[in-house]
Amino acid sequence: MDLLLEAVGINKEFAGNNTVLKNVSLKVESGSIVALIGDSGGGKTTLCRVFTGLENVSSGKVLFKGKELGCLRRRSFEECASMQYIFQDPYAALEEESTVYSVLREPVSLCRKRRRDYMSPEDALDWVGLPVETFLKRKIKTLSGGQRQKIGIARALITRPDLIVADECTSMLDRQSSAEIGHIFKQLNQKIGLSFIIVTHDIHFLYRVVDYIYVLHEGVIVEAGPKERILNIPCADYTREYMESMREIEGGGLLEPDRLCQS
C-alpha cells in the first residue's frame, strides 16, 4: 500500500516550557483507518491540528503524498481539500441559522472556483444516510447532535478528500449515533478507499472500525500496532492499564434488572 501521510520526529512546545509532543513519528497508509488513543492532555488533538495545519510544529515534518506540508497558510488549495477535519463538537462546528444546503454549498463553490472535482451535496447526504428531500432545506438548529455530526461528515466529503482527520467526533453522541457514524466511516473506507485518522475513546470504533492503533501517552507514542494485537496483547504499561480500564468500564454496562426503571 502507498504511504499517504507520514509524521517524522514531531516536537511541539507551547509557551511556558509546555512540551506536548515529543519526537512523534507515525505512518498512515492509503486506504487504512488509524486510531489515536491515549490520556487526555496526551497530545492527540494537538497532533491532529498539526496534520491539518492548524498548529505549527516546533521541529519535525509532516509528509502528505510524499510532499512536505507547511502550516495552513502555506498549503495549496489542493492540499487543504485533500485532507479534511471533523470536529469534536457538532454544536459548535456548524452555523445554527444556516440551512444544510448552504453548509454543503460552501465547499462546492470553492471547488468550482479552483476547478477541483467535487461531490454534489445530494450524494454527500446520501453517503451519510440522511434523505435529501427531508434534510437539504432544514436549518442546522433543528437537527440533533448525531444528525449535525453527519452533516459535518457530508461537508468533509464534498471536496473528495483522500484523508479525513476526526477528533473525538462521537464523544458527544449517544451509542447508536456513534455506531452509525462508525458504519459510515467503514463504508467510505471500503467503497471509495477513503483513509481516516480517528481520535477516539469509543470501544465500538476500536473493535469494529479501525485497522491500526497508535497509543499516545504524555506526548510520546508508547505503542503502535494492528488493532487485534493492541487490544488483545498490549505491551506498554500504559496501554495495559488503558485496556484494563476499558474492560472494567464497559463490562459494567450490564445492569441487574432491579436497578433498571421503565419510563
Partner 1 sequence: MIMELRKFKVRYGDNATWFNYPDIELEKGGCFVLMGKTGCGKTTLLNALFKHSFSGEVVYEKAKIVGNDWSEWGKNRYKFISYMPQYAQSGLNPSLTIGEQIDLVKRCCGVRSDERQQSYFEELGLRKEMTKRYPFEISGGMKQRIALLMGFIKKPQLFVLDEPSSALDYITLRKTVDFLKRRKEEGCAILMVSHHRGFAAGIADKMAVMREV
For partner 1, the binding residues (CB under 8 A) are: 14, 16, 18, 37-42, 45, 88-89, 91-92, 144-146, 168, 171-177, 201, 241-242, 245-246, 248-255, 259-263
Three cell numbers, residue 16: 511556558
Sequence-distant (6+) residues with CB within 8 A of 195 are 4, 5, 28, 29, 30, 31, 32, 33, 34, 162, 163, 164, 189
Residue ranges of E strands in 117-211: 163-167, 195-199
Strands 195-199, 163-167: pairing kind: parallel
Q: Which is nearer to partner 1, 232 or 263 (CB)?
A: 263
Q: Which is nearer to partner 1, 105 or 201 (CB)?
A: 201
Tell the smallest beta-carbon distance from residue 244 to partner 1 (Å): 9
Q: Which is nearer to partner 1, 84 or 170 (CB)?
A: 170
Q: Quote the CA–CA distance of 107 and 121 in Å, as a whole number.
A: 10
Tell the smallest beta-carbon distance from residue 222 to partner 1 (Å): 13
Helix (H) or strand (E) holding 256: none
Q: Which is nearer to partner 1, 39 or 211 (CB)?
A: 39
Tell the smallest beta-carbon distance from residue 161 to partner 1 (Å): 24
Amino acid at 124: A
Tell the smallest beta-carbon distance from residue 16 to partner 1 (Å): 8
Tell the smallest beta-carbon distance from residue 149 to partner 1 (Å): 10
Q: Which is nearer to partner 1, 45 or 52 (CB)?
A: 45
Contact between 34 and 225 under an 8 Å Cβ cutoff? The reply is: no
Residue among 120, 106, 115, 109 nearest 78 (CA): 115
Q: Quote the CA–CA distance of 180 and 175 in Å, as a whole number.
A: 9
Q: Which is nearer to partner 1, 40 or 117 (CB)?
A: 40
Tell the smallest beta-carbon distance from residue 79 to partner 1 (Å): 26
